[in-house]
Amino acid sequence: MAFVNNHVPESKITEAELYGPEPYDLNFVLPVPPVLSTDKVRLVPFIPRIHAPAYFDAIRGYETMYQYIPVVLEYPSDFLRFVETCRRDKTSLMFAVIDTTRPDPKHPEWEGSLAGMFGLIGTDTTNLVTEIGPAIVLPAFQRTHVSSHAVGSLLKYVLDLAPSGVGFRRVKWGAAPHNIPSNNLARRMGFKFGGILRWRYVLPTVEGYQKWGKEARAGDAGNGLLGRDGNEWVLCWDDWEEGGRELVERALARVA
């Protein structure tokens, strides 16, 4: 039997497309509320034209914090290309995390300061599962309430039943095995360890990634790029209903 394969690779994102379309189309498979919030943070869709300048100002000089993220984010154009790639993938949505405890005189309309970017990726509306990631907390907001409150907001959105949430069954959290803070955060927020995904990622060959990578066999499709494993953490609907929601509420209440 004859067959064809008419797959066309996705076109590369041009410089003119880095900030996305106007008006900004979230292109996400789920309903998106205007804001997700706790008493200390607000999560709103990350719109590069609005949020990227402040993000770049805050991250400048701290680019090594990207070492656990398996994509190249070395330059602003890399970051914008990543965000636009996610936007074009209907299973992904990036959020700007606003810390409402720290006003930003430059952006009073934000009702706080930009503290990071969190996302949802791999959102599967058939099997009712999604993954929280990436989880980027800007340097000035690390070791504060920001990460816990951002995760808590997303968990409520994903696992709570309508109308306050979308009523999914499973949320994943991925972390590099050597990223102790990320693994600890997952545990603290009620995720259960699901196992090690061996050879989870192919790593870009830029400075800072080599020490985490391991060599694969010669001649494979990775063209010599290193790889790394990934820890998978999971939180399911029954965990949520059987004490998980209360655990998250307690975690948010005790974070300064």
- pLDDT for the residue 64: 82
What is the 3 state secondary structure string of 108-150? HHHCCEEEEEEEEEEEECCCCEEEEEEEEECHHHCCCCHHHHH
- pLDDT for the residue 65: 86
Structural domain includes residue 98: yes
- pLDDT for the residue 212: 79
Half-sphere exposure of residue 53, counting CA atoms within 13 Å on the CB side?
Answer: 4
- As a whole number of angstroms, the distance between CA 197 and CA 193 comes to 11
Structural domain includes residue 148: yes
> Tokens at residue 35, please?
């804001």
Structural domain includes residue 8: no
Structural domain includes residue 185: yes
- pLDDT for the residue 211: 74
- pLDDT for the residue 31: 97
- pLDDT for the residue 206: 60
- pLDDT for the residue 209: 66
Residue listed under structure tokens 């914090």: 65
pTM of the model: 0.95
Q: How far apart are the first and last CA of the chain?
A: 66
Structural domain includes residue 156: yes
Half-sphere exposure of residue 54, counting CA atoms within 13 Å on the CB side?
Answer: 21
Domain that holds residue 211: 28-253
- As a whole number of angstroms, the distance between CA 160 and CA 152 comes to 11
- pLDDT for the residue 72: 87
DSSP letter for 240, please: I
What domain count does the chain have?
1
What are the contacts of 97-103 at 24+ separation with CB within 8 A?
A: 97/41, 97/42, 97/43, 97/137, 97/146, 97/150, 98/41, 98/42, 98/43, 98/44, 99/40, 99/41, 99/141, 99/144, 99/145, 99/146, 100/37, 100/39, 100/40, 100/41, 100/42, 101/40, 101/145
Structural domain includes residue 5: no
> Tokens at residue 186, please?
């997952």
Structural domain includes residue 222: yes
Look up the CATH number of the domain holding residue 109. Answer: 3.40.630.30
As averages over each run of 10 residues, the pLDDT of the chain (256 residues) reads 93 96 98 97 99 97 88 93 98 99 97 98 99 98 97 99 98 97 98 98 74 90 93 99 98 80
Respond yes or no on whether the N-terminal peptide bond of residue 163 is cis (omega within 30° of 0). Answer: yes
Structural domain includes residue 18: no
**CA-based nearest residue to 118, from 13, 167, 189:** 189
